[in-house]
Amino acid sequence: MQTTKAVSMKIRMLMACWLAVGSAALAQHVPDQLNYQGILTDYHGQPTALSTNTVNFRIYDEAEGGNLIWGETHSVTTSARGLFSVILGTGALLSDSMQAANLREAFASGTLVEQRYLELQALNPNGTPQSAMLPRQRFLTAPYAFQANDSQTALANFRVTGALYAQSEGAQVGQLIMTNANGSITAAGDFVVDGYGKSNVLASFNGTSAVLSVASDALSVQGSLEVNSSWTLAGTSVFYQAVSATDPTFNKGIRVKGGIRALGGYQHLATNTTTAFSRVAAGDGFALVYLKTTDFGNNANLVITVNGIQIPLQHQPYSAGAYYSMDFENTACIPVAKGESWSVAFGSGTHSASKFDVYWIPFGY
């Protein structure tokens, strides 16, 4: 019996079909396979007709030597003219150490992914390997597949007519333009814009905020809006629900459909006390002091001190030896700047029937 050697004298067709990112949601799935055809000849260059032979297929990252990326073995049957056809990706994986688990991974993005070389090696009938076919064949691009370069890196204009999904966490977009008035961007979670954001169409956010940008100089907020840093609105702004902002600046007008609160929630710091009270203001606000006397003959002298300045809050119910039985109440609201020390304490006089309450009302938020 004459021994045959696998030599691809002529490649009738070499075509690769793969998809970088697969999804069960897609209407069609691109096969993770590659069609390969060749001709088996003997040592004399004559086609080996109507025979069955075992051929190993290997993909390397260099024309000579290099790293084995992927490989599998096929049993090929030739035609009357020695022609055989196999579908790579459907054979048995080789036992060699390989970098890719399947054909899709062999062509996935990575180092030197554009350098992929195919090597064929036939086996003798007794299973011993013959010399590999050299030189290796480099995988090149089919004419229309040049378009795939844009889909991978989007270096040029990139148009998507259907849904565009970014499944990785590090998806980055240099410039995203939506020209369809019925188009939309939907963010199920956080949508972060580090630079300047401008919208000429409606943008809807389904998270904790619902923002609609309806014109270049206006901001309309239908839901709650929370901004954790300083922000500036140059156009007219309309808010329909709660707004929480650290340091907003409005350069034009502001329309509020509901109530607006400039002061934060008050804190009740002391109740019915005669004990001296002191604090350092953590932020701008107002110290509210309430003095109450429930007996006659008291001449209580309550002193509020802010940054060294004393403000008396007094009760003197007698005059020229005459005493008056009466209940007395008095209140003072004093502005206090952030970082200033302030205190409340009884001074000279009798205050056995007097007590006071202390409140703090923060300003702004």
With a pLDDT cut of 90, the percent of the chain lying above it is 33
pLDDT score at 14: 34
Residue scoring higher pLDDT (300 or 93): 93
Unique residue bearing structure tokens 């604090």: 279
Residue 309 has pLDDT above 80, yes or no: yes
The predicted model gives 12-27 an average pLDDT of 35
pLDDT, tens only, 237-248:
666 666 666 666
CA 307 to chain centre: 47
Determine the Cα angle at 34 with ends 136 and 129, to 5°. 45
Residue scoring higher pLDDT (112 or 61): 61
d(CA 269, CA 6): 93
The predicted model gives 191-206 an average pLDDT of 55
pLDDT, tens only, 250-307:
666 666 666 555 556 788 999 999 999 999 999 889 999 998 887 665 677 889 999 9
Count other Cβ atoms within 10 Å, centred on residue 36. Answer: 24
pLDDT score at 71: 96
Q: How many CA atoms lie within 13 A of 40 on its CB side?
A: 27
- Terminal-to-terminal C-alpha distance of the chain: 94
Residue 249 has pLDDT above 80, yes or no: no
pLDDT score at 350: 79
With a pLDDT cut of 70, the percent of the chain lying above it is 52
Residue 205 has pLDDT above 70, yes or no: no
Residue 325 has pLDDT above 60, yes or no: no
In which order are the strands placed within the sheet that holds 137-138?
A: 92-93, 68-77, 52-60, 117-122, 137-138
The predicted model gives 210-215 an average pLDDT of 45
The answer to whether the CB of 57 falls within 8 A of the CB of 46 is no
Residue scoring higher pLDDT (181 or 331): 331
pLDDT score at 7: 42
pLDDT, tens only, 28-40:
556 789 999 999 8
pLDDT score at 287: 94
Q: What domains can be seen in the chain, in order of their start residue?
A: 14-147 (2.60.40), 177-256 (no CATH), 267-362 (2.60.120)
Residue 352 has pLDDT above 60, yes or no: yes
The predicted model gives 76-85 an average pLDDT of 94
pLDDT score at 245: 64
The predicted model gives 90-96 an average pLDDT of 95
Confidence of residue 174 (pLDDT cuts 50, 70, 90): low
Which amino acid belongs to residue 316? Q
CA distances from 321 to 35, 218, 300, 317 (A): 117, 69, 16, 10
Confidence of residue 10 (pLDDT cuts 50, 70, 90): very low
Which amino acid belongs to residue 317? P
d(CA 283, CA 269): 15
- Strand 83-88, strand 33-39: pairing: antiparallel
CA distances from 178 to 165, 181, 201, 219, 344 (A): 15, 8, 8, 19, 61
The predicted model gives 217-223 an average pLDDT of 60
Residue scoring higher pLDDT (4 or 43): 43
For 21-88, give the secondary structure using H, E and C. CCCCCCCCCCCCEEEEEEECECCCCCECCCCEEEEEEEEECCCCCCCEEEEEEEEEECCCCCEEEEEE
**Looking at the DSSP assignment, which residues form a beta bridge with residue 76?**
53
pLDDT score at 330: 85
Confidence of residue 58 (pLDDT cuts 50, 70, 90): very high
Residue 203 has pLDDT above 60, yes or no: no
d(CA 192, CA 228): 13
What tokens were used for 343?
């205190």
Residue scoring higher pLDDT (223 or 69): 69
Residue scoring higher pLDDT (308 or 315): 308
pLDDT, tens only, 123-165:
998 999 999 988 999 998 777 666 666 565 655 566 666 666 6
d(CA 210, CA 191): 11
Question: What mean pLDDT is reported for the chain?
Answer: 74
Confidence of residue 342 (pLDDT cuts 50, 70, 90): very high
pLDDT score at 44: 86
